[in-house]
Structure 1
């Protein structure tokens, strides 16, 4: 706008000058002569930007500089005819740089950039010529196509020809990678029990052969996504039935799935692929390109997460133009690998070896780096616990991997930190991982051992006295006395075996025998308790003929526990005996072969006792009750209920004892265990007047031997004994006890 104002003023001045001057416009008067005015020198900006000014006689004109053009298309112009603007050479001449270059417009100019695979010609003619990548790689001693690949130059690029047995997965500029199609051979693959994967093995082998040698391709090949879906569908069919039979089966399955993912990965189209079934959950990340990828990798699912980087995933060896990282979680595999802890050593605490159990899902981590046994940078794997827990000195979390031996190992895998829900593991190699919970047994201090020995010894003494009383005290003989006698015998044997063998875990066969005996005798104790409840029920409800035949008592009291132990031993023979105690294993549900019958017996007895108390209440409200008989049955019922409560309460604490509970639970179990024999002796012997009379009579015979003859005569008088038994029968409907 400034130059326009100047020209306008100049024009006005010229008009005025013409009015007062004799010279025409474009001239000036000098010494009475008209001389041309050089407008280009007087008005430098008269032509605007990007233009050149040319003076003429009496006038001037403008021309645009190279790379610019007049907005009205004029070659010569003045400011009145418009100004200059940039001329887009790339748009107006699409071939200005040739076919092998890219044109970039500049202000007043343009530039040419050779396409990939071309370089600027060194000759004066310019232009771009093809780069022979194969020759240059040979000069630089580079291996563009891998050891077995053949490089062939093409205009602007190159491609790699792979021999049979190698492939670049359709990316012709990638090095040739060897295909291991034999890894999908059913004969060298999973164990016979995993033949459910035969179809997917066959399918992937055909796909592998098709990539390796197109002439060997067979029908049924599929792309990467379809193969991946078929793989996990087949894996689901194998895992859904439940437990795998051996560590060999587990290793075969893990290896087959890992090989399949490494084969399928390069065929995936997307950079991130997720797939989930009822048995597995997988996330796979891939990167492609001529240069090695960089940056971090974070893969995650509901049960685990992986943190590493692409440098670790790709490795430092020959880069095939492809990198992969995968995180695979098995949702139900932990039950199949919960027994193989042979490789776990050096985890003692204060000289005590822990027991182990799987405490997370089994997770496989895969990368395309062929050197996964010694990673340049460790990877971090976060595993979610199967259940939330609180910190305890008896529990620690261990990061472990599934070794080639078919067992869990900790070499090169370390716990970084743990909380109630997760454990972070740092591992220097890759495999299948899990968190193990190490359970350290309760330390049996001197005080606990002393209480155990004293309490059980006292219980055994009381049980011996009770057994002798029930066996030889004539005045109390009857069905209930027989039940009490065998209940005491079973409890005596259980306590004796418990005291002598509960901690004798070696040899294994002896420990299993001790566990089986404890299982049998403790079940027999509760079975005889059930028979006592049945007898009380019959006494109150039936009144007449309430006794149970001894044969039925023995068959039920000893036969039922024996059948349960035999069946349990056949189904779970290894469940008898653990690393810490000669008792039933808490794994695989074998413990319920004891707690199941115990709970069932307690429920039945509660039912019998409720009926008994209800019937007693009705009889007490009748008009002419037999008070002596009712009071006696009431006493029997109270003692039976107390007996059941103390035994049941003991095994509530006993259930927690064998799961690594605090020391207070161990003391409670030991004290209650010692109270059993004592309680039976007090309730059924010392509180019984007839038994006290028998004790007094026996002691009087010992203290006053001169009256022995009379005492023997009295005690053996048939009529006296018969009349006494008759009176007892009238009171209770059976013998006194």
Structure 2
């Protein structure tokens, strides 16, 4: 009851009480005081949510059910009714939810549940997802509720169970597309159209970055580049320019990659990469092309294989950069790095990593075996003259991160060796593998920034703090001179020098054997004597480059001269047997062949490659650029010619022995000459055949000892064959020895006679000199 109603009631009561003297609550009716029913006569005397009860002379108010007052029974002036919150006082909802109302309450089920029959409890969860509350987006039911899992480009910002609304990614002009592109919003997506000169490599929801195609127009320094390499450059440049032109023709990354590897396969199949400059250009084109193609590939992992190449590329896209490790592998290598290294400092919305391996790339020759000056200095400092050869396929590692010269975390490459052969015990102690990369500045393999982690028979693991094209080089250590080899060489050469000196004296002074063939033997012995003497004294004079080159040139000349005199011996035997007996060769012609031909070969070799005389280990011909064949080629030719002459000679000689009236004395003499000549060719020629295999391949221990023994004892063998085995020479030796002995006996006899006669005379002094005389 409000104040206005209370005043009206009070006035009404006072009025009634003043009539005819009735008390308050009564009124005069026919001069009698009658009770007033305030609950009827006064409109709503108790106020809202209450019940009025009339009494004799008064009334009282009582709150309705669900309401309460501070006093149980009250009048309009003493209280009012307020709602009772039954949910707090005495709720009978059990496991249901209690909801209070004005004057009452009700029991309800939680959202997502429904009541059982009888409305006394709540049953299982309701699956709201059956009614497609999330529309086209996926719905996830939860106990008593649901969650709308919005597709990419949509969100439910207010509540997870609310509807999904499109996100306008283009609100911020410099947002997802960056300042170098025009952003166009679409339901659930957006599109970035790059400005001219910028590209996102076909990833239309990534930021656009500036790109240039100058790397495909560099001058390689060679004007006669192979046409197919030029075509590869033009093809890569065209693909690059189409990326920077928004309206240009676009090809998928898969098509571009297939075209690239087809061209690479043709170039490698025809061995067109000859020389370090072309190799540098080829590897540079491949690396830059993969930087263009990699981000355009659609699949997360792409593999490509041809006859000469093998590659694997991994691509990741998204609003946030990927993390963790990434491993790529081909048939010859494995590449292990982290996505953080691949991404680098900036992430435009995509990233990629690629591994490309080249099969049989080392078939191009010496350009692949070049090493940098730094690696060469380390080799010389540690082990002396070491040569290297590729022991793995070459691989190129490419990532989207443009800053790969100094990586914060090294990458790992595991190479598979080309050859799977277990080394011998001796090789295993000195075998070494080096991890290298192709240095374009030096045009050679360099080990800077590369470290070998471990190595076994089949694989080598490398670590590098930068990315480029990598490989494994196997160090070929020179065969060390053991004490036994040095001893055999020196003792054998000294013995050969003594025997050759005896041969020279024999051929010079022994009159019965004088003739054309004897002259050939004399010059052969002189050439070998000088060659062995130079070899013994100067083969190790590597400290002086000029002297070492001179020694190598002398050895080249005199060893070739020895073989030329051996050729003359074969020609002489051929003329004696096949043409006519006792045929001689003019000395001028012999000198022209025996000394002129070797001199001409040495002059041409020295002019063609003067650095080939003398190596870092021996004063002999270098193995580089196959310079050693300036000696082996003439030797092989002479051996083949002499073999032909000796076969014909033996065949003709056998025919003459079977004739009716052979000249046996001459035939036996020629037969003896032929046997010794054939033996000489077999020994001296075979020696250098062993040497050929020894220098061209990694010689075995057996070949090494055979070469050393035959080389050091060649003088002794010639002395045995041409002197000791010759009956005429033996007879002359016997005569000479007898003469020497007879002279000695005669001198001794005369000395003894004079001594006995003089002993009988007294000593007397010369008066002029004062000296004693016999």
> What is the TM-score with the length of structure 2 in the denominator?
0.69
Q: Does 1:399 align with 2:435?
A: yes
Q: Give me the whole-angstrom Cα distance separating, in 2, the residues matched to 1:559 and 1:429.
A: 57
Residue 489 (structure 1) aligned with residue 526 (structure 2):
yes
- CA distance in 2: counterparts of 1:639 and 1:679, whole angstroms: 10
Q: Match of 1:176?
A: 208
Q: Name the residue aligned to 2:223.
A: 192
Aligned equivalent of 1:12: none
- Residues 315-326 of structure 1 aligned to structure 2 (within 5 Å): 315=344, 317-318=346-347, 320-326=349-355
> Paired residue for 1:373?
405
Question: Does 2:632 align with 1:595?
Answer: yes
* Cα distance in structure 1, aligned partners of 2:253 and 2:358: 20
Does the alignment pair 1:361 with 2:390?
A: no
| Alpha-carbon shift at residue 283 of structure 1 (Å) | 3.2
Contact 1:200–1:230 (CA under 8 A) maintained in structure 2: no
Counterpart selection for 1:428 from 450, 457, 465: 465
**In 1, Cα distance between the equivalents of 2:161 and 2:559?**
104
Q: Structure 1's 653 and 251: CA in aligned 2 closer, same or farther, altered over 3 A?
A: same
Displacement, 1:246?
4.6
* 1:116 and 2:148 matched: no
1:690 partnered with 2:722: no
Rounded Cα–Cα distance in structure 2 between residues aligned with 1:154 and 1:308 = 37
| 2:486 corresponds to which of 430, 434, 449 | 449
Q: From the superposition, tell whether residues 323 and 302 of structure 1 become closer, same or farther in structure 2 (CA, over 3 Å).
A: closer
Greater mean alpha carbon deviation, residues 174-183 or residues 196-205: 196-205
Query: Alignment partner of 2:289: what SS?
Result: helix
Where in structure 2 are the equivalents of 1:96-111 lying within 5 Å? Answer: 96-97=133-134, 101-103=137-139, 111=147
Q: Is the 8 A contact 1:177 1:320 kept in 2?
A: no
> How far apart in 2 are the matches of 1:572 and 1:338?
19
Residue 642 to residue 203, structure 1, CA distance change in 2 (3 Å): closer
Q: Deviations over 1:418-450 (max 9, x none)?
A: 334433323232211222222222333555434
Identify the residue that residue 639 of structure 1 maps to in structure 2: 676
In the other structure, the counterpart of 2:718 is: 680
**SS of residue paired to 2:561:** helix
**Partner Cα distance (2:540, 2:251) in 1:** 59
Matched residue SS, 1:337: helix
Post-superposition offset of 1:258: 0.8
Question: Aligned pair 1:269/2:306, yes or no?
Answer: no
How far apart in 2 are the matches of 1:639 and 1:151? 96
Q: Aligned partners of 1:488 and 1:108: how far apart in 2?
A: 112
Deviation track 1:635-660 (CA, whole Å, cap 9, x = no partner) reads 22222222222213322443455466
Q: State the partner residue of 2:253.
A: 224
Map Cα deviations across residues 683-707 of structure 1 (whole Å, 9 max, x no partner): 2123334334444556677777799
Return the alpha-carbon distance in structure 2 between the equivalents of residues 113 and 432 of structure 1: 46
1:547 equivalent to 2:591? Answer no
Contact 1:193 1:249 in 2 (8 A): no
Q: Which residue of 1 aligns with 2:499?
A: 462
- The verdict on how the C-alpha distance between 1:340 and 1:350 changes in structure 2, with shifts beyond 3 A counting, is closer
Q: 1:284 aligns with which of 285, 290, 313?
A: 313
Deviations 1:658-693 (A, max 9, x none): 466466755543332221111112221233343344
Cα distance change on mapping 1:429 and 1:520 into 2, 3 Å: same
Q: Structure 1 residues 104 and 170 mapped into 2: Cα distance closer, same or farther (>3 Å)?
A: same
Does the 8 Å CA contact 1:305/1:327 hold for their aligned counterparts? Answer: no
Distance in 2 (alpha carbons) for counterparts of 1:402 and 1:530: 48
Moved more, 304-313 or 403-412: 304-313
Between 292-301 and 641-650, report the one with greater CA deviation.
Answer: 292-301
Paired residue secondary structure (1:374): coil
Larger Rg: 2
| Cα displacement string for residues 21-77 of structure 1 (whole angstroms, at most 9, x for unaligned residues) | xxxxxxxxxxxxxxxxxxxxxxxxxxxxxxxxxxxxxxxxxxxx99999xxxxxx9x
What is the deviation of 1:407?
2.3
Is the contact between residue 278 and residue 331 of structure 1 (CA under 8 Å) also seen in structure 2?
no
The residue aligned with 1:609 is 646
CA distance in structure 1 between the aligned counterparts of 2:219 and 2:656, rounded to whole angstroms: 79
Q: Among 521, 526, 535, which residue is 2:572 paired with? A: 535
- Taking a change above 3 Å as real, the CA distance of residues 674 and 299 of structure 1, as seen in their structure-2 partners, is same
What's the CA shift for 1:373? 2.9
Contact kept in structure 2, 1:194 and 1:253, CA below 8 Å: no
1:306 pairs with 2:335: yes
- CA 1:360/1:580 → structure 2, altered by over 3 Å: closer, same or farther? farther
For 1:531-564, what per-residue CA distance to the aligned partner results, in whole angstroms no more than 9, with x for missing partners? 3233323333334353334344333334444555
Residue 161 of structure 1: how far off its partner (Å): 4.8
TM-score by length of 1: 0.73
Output the CA distance in 2 between the equivalents of 1:343 and 1:517.
33
* 2:199 matched residue in structure 1: 167
Query: Which whole-Å CA distance do the structure 2 matches of 1:418 and 1:224 have between them?
Result: 37
354 and 323 in structure 1: CA distance in 2 versus 1, 3 angstrom threshold: same
Further displaced range: 120-129 or 204-213: 120-129
CA distance in 1, matches of 2:196, 2:415: 42
Q: Aligned equivalents of 1:700 and 1:124: distance in 2?
A: 127
Q: Give unmatched runs, 5+ long, in structure 2.
A: 1-109, 118-122, 747-774
- Output one character per residue of 1:223-254: Cα deviation in whole Å (capped at 9) or x when no partner: 43343344345445655564756533332322
Q: 2: CA distance between counterparts of 1:195 and 1:351?
A: 39
Per-residue deviation, residues 588-642 of structure 1 (Å, max 9, x unmatched): 4444443344344334434443444444445445555444333322322222222
Q: Distance in 2 between matches of 1:170 and 1:351?
A: 53
Task: Calculate the aligned-residue CA RMSD, in Å.
Answer: 4.3
- 1:175 & 1:583 partners in 2: Cα distance? 64
The answer as to whether partners of 2:315 and 2:350 remain within 8 angstroms in 1 is: no
Match of 1:293 in 2: 322
Q: Distance in 1 between matches of 2:626 and 2:708?
A: 25
| Higher alpha-carbon deviation: 233-242 or 494-503 | 233-242
Asked whether the equivalents of residues 295 and 350 of structure 2 are also in contact (C-alpha less than 8 Å), the reply is: no
CA distance in 2: counterparts of 1:242 and 1:114, whole angstroms: 56
What is the deviation of 1:184? 1.7
**Structure 1 pair 571/253, CA: closer, same or farther in 2 (3 Å)?**
farther
* CA deviation profile, 1:292-311 (whole Å, cap 9, x unmatched): 33565444444433344444
Structure 1 range deviating more: 593-602 or 406-415: 593-602
Offset at residue 121 of structure 1 (A): 4.8
SS of match in other structure, 1:416: strand
